[in-house]
């Protein structure tokens, strides 16, 4: 059975595509492509169709990770398509659960930083209006969280 992950930030050009591509990198490295599938989306439509932010792509490339994909907006139908919906911050979390008024899918929505093992952050900061150091920090934070998330997934009992 494949576990389906959706990473969500505001515009889907910085944090969530980075998390998606970092996780895909880890999945490939651990040869788990048949067990975990990733996608990303944004809660806003500002950048639909855009490639990942070039500054974010540079920070990822410095760590050996290529950012690929095109921005899309999160839609309510995503609740039925993904096992985990990983919000980058509390505002994204609130925006996601607002699209599920009955609350039936709230257990699928988690904050990305819940899976950090070394970083103390509660939220993934948005580096969009900052400098290079902010993009580098977000890559480091997401590498930590993705490693923790992947370990969490591998520790889960298999259900069919």
Rg of the chain over Cα atoms, rounded to whole angstroms, equals 14
Both ends of the chain: CA-CA distance in Å? Answer: 7
Which of these is catalytic: 78, 89, 126, 144? 126
| 9 in active site | yes
| 34 in active site | no
User: Can you name the residues that pair with 4 across neighbouring β-strands?
Assistant: 37
Burial bucket for residue 50 (CB in 10 Å: 0-12, 13-18, 19+) = middle
| 126 in active site | yes
Other C-beta atoms within 10 Å of 88: how many? Answer: 30
Which of these is catalytic: 15, 55, 72, 108? 15
The residues annotated as belonging to the active site are 9, 15, 126
């Amino acid at each position: 059975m494949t576990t389906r992950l959706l990473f969500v930030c505001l515009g889907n050009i910085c944090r969530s595509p980075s998390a998606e591509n970092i996780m895909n990198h880890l999945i490939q490295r651990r040869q788990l492509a048949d067990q975990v599938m990733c996608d990303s989306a944004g809660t806003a439509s500002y950048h639909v169709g855009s490639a990942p932010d070039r500054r974010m792509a540079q920070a990822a490339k410095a760590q050996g990770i290529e950012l690929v994909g095109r921005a899309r907006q999160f839609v309510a139908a995503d609740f039925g398509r993904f096992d985990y919906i990983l919000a980058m911050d509390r505002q994204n979390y609130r925006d996601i659960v607002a699209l599920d008024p009955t609350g039936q899918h709230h257990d699928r929505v988690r904050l990305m930083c819940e899976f950090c093992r070394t970083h103390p952050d509660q939220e993934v900061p948005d580096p969009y209006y900052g400098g290079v150091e902010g993009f580098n920090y977000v890559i480091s934070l997401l590498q930590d969280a993705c490693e923790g998330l992947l370990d969490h997934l591998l520790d889960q009992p298999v259900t069919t």
